[in-house]
Amino acid sequence: MRPVHANEAERLVVWKPMMILDKTLYGPAYVESLVARNPGLVTSKTYGRKTLPLEVWYMILDIITNDPSLHDFAFVRANCIEMGGKRGQTLVCNRVNQWASLGALRNENEVEEVNMYLARPDLNFRLLPNPFRLDGGSQPWEIPTLLFSSKIKSLHVEITVPDFIKHFEDDLQRDQ
C-alpha cells in the first residue's frame, strides 16, 4: 500500500483501482495543502480576515495527525475527474460498502486473485468472482487532487489483501 502521488489523478481514472481513504486525515490533509500553498487561503470570517502564522498551522496539524486514536477508513474506487468549483480539480470516487470476507480466503491462489481484483476490479479472473460491490446509490467521495501533494497522506493505492483485512476486517474479528 502506498500514498497516491501528486500527479497521479488522471492515471487513477483510467486504471480505476480500489483505494483506502483515511477519513480521519482527509480534513487535515486538505487544510495542510491550502496552508502550504498560501496561509492566507485559510482566514477568519471576522472583519480583517485574520490568519494564523504558518508555524501555528503546522503545530495544529501535527497535533491532529499524531493523535493515537483509531482512524476511520473508507474503501473507494476511482471513477472520474471533475473540474472547477471552489476546490478545483477533484477525483470522484465510488464507495464500496459490500464485500466478501477476505479473512475467509483458503489458500495463496485465492489471495493472489483477490490482490488482482484490488488492482483491477473491472477484470474477471479464474478462481473467484469479484468480492467487491460498488454502492451506486451512496454519495461519492470528491477528493480534491491538491490533497495528493499534501505532506499528510490520506488516500492510498496498490492495496493488498493484508492491507484490506487490517483496515476493514480486523475490528470485526475482534468484536466476535
C-alpha grid cell, residue 137 = 446509490
Q: Rounded to whole angstroms, how far apart are CA atoms 141 and 132?
A: 17
Q: Rounded to whole angstroms, how far apart are CA atoms 132 and 101?
A: 10
Q: Write down the pTM of the prediction.
A: 0.85
Q: At 29, is the pLDDT very low, low, confident or very high (cuts 50, 70, 90)?
A: very high
Cβ within 8 Å of residue 85, ≥6 positions away:
none
Beta-bridge partners for 74: 21
User: CB 163: neighbour CB atoms within 10 A?
Assistant: 17
User: CB 136: neighbour CB atoms within 10 A?
Assistant: 8
Helix axes 54-65, 23-37, angle to 10 degrees: 170
Count helices and strands (H / E) in the chain: 6, 7
Q: What is the pLDDT of residues 88-118, one digit of tens each?
A: 899 999 999 889 889 889 999 999 999 999 9
Q: Rounded to whole angstroms, how far apart are CA atoms 56 and 9?
A: 30
C-alpha grid cell, residue 26 = 482527509
Q: What is the pLDDT of residues 112-156, one digit of tens each?
A: 999 999 999 888 888 788 898 876 667 899 999 999 999 999 999
Q: What is the pLDDT of residues 55-92, one digit of tens each?
A: 888 888 888 888 878 889 999 999 999 997 776 899 99
